[in-house]
Homo-oligomer: A and B are copies of this chain.
Amino acid sequence: MPRLSADERREQLVEAAIRVMIRDGVARTTTRAVVTEAAVPLGAFHYCFRSKEELLQSVIERIMERALTPVVAQPEDASAYDVIHATLHAYWDRVRERPAEHLVTYELTQYALRQPGLADLARKQYRHYLAINSAYLESLARTLDIHWTVDLPVLARHGLSVLDGLTLNWLVDREDAEATAALDEFARYLTSLARPNP
């Protein structure tokens, strides 16, 4: 058993925890399952983290970092609808490719909400998602030379909710056709809110 620094151990444990969560769910992610997955001795766990809650906090932060700003090709000649549609489907493709990872996101949010010390982190997580949505909508408006007929914060929250809700719904029933249809309708709606700049 190689002796590694606490920082390296922490790194191993966080990544192992994420793998276990994706495979078995957050509820079944015990400290023992994590150290087994990481091939780290059990005792090392509480040497690296004060508690399981502290590990989960690191996991949430790590996952948040990975929710990178959606990058979308925005060719000059594409219509607003085309660009919006492509962006939404880029997100959707990621959901369909890795359903378990997205399920974990929701599980972690709820875990955090029930853990007094972590409720703030959940709020921060959602502020982050809202900021990403806002930034995307703003950059879209610049690129297309339009403005939105609905206030940006309201639109960002509405958009985040639609994607969150559709994702959750699809994770339950896996109805591809209906989910896609609802997503396309959302693209149409967003497009209808774009007005050319004067």
Contacts and interface: CB of A to CB of B under 8 A. Distances in A.
Interface of A: 24-25, 27-28, 103, 106-107, 109-111, 113-114, 122-123, 125-127, 150-151, 153-155, 157-158, 160-166, 168-169, 171-173, 178-179, 181-182, 185-186, 189
B162 A158 contact: yes
Given A27-B114, A28-B114, A169 B157 contact: yes
B153 A178 contact: yes
Contacts of A161: 161-162, 164-166, 168-169, 182
Nearest to A188: B150
Contacts of A24: 114
B172 A158 contact: no
Contacts of A173: 123, 126-127
The number of times this chain is found in the oligomer is 2
Contact of A103 (B107, B110, B123, B179): B110
A110 B113 contact: no
A178 B164 contact: no
A185 B150 contact: yes
A73 to B, nearest CB: 26
A25 B114 contact: yes
Contacts of A127: 173
Given A109-B172, A122-B172, A189-B189, A160 B150 contact: no
Nearest to A150: B185
Contacts of A169: 126, 157, 160-161, 164
Given A155-B185, A164-B164, 7 more contacts: A25-B114, A110-B110, A113-B172, A157-B166, A157-B181, A161-B169, A162-B162
Contacts of A155: 185
A154 B181 contact: yes
A171 B25 contact: no
A27 B111 contact: yes
A178 B153 CA distance: 8
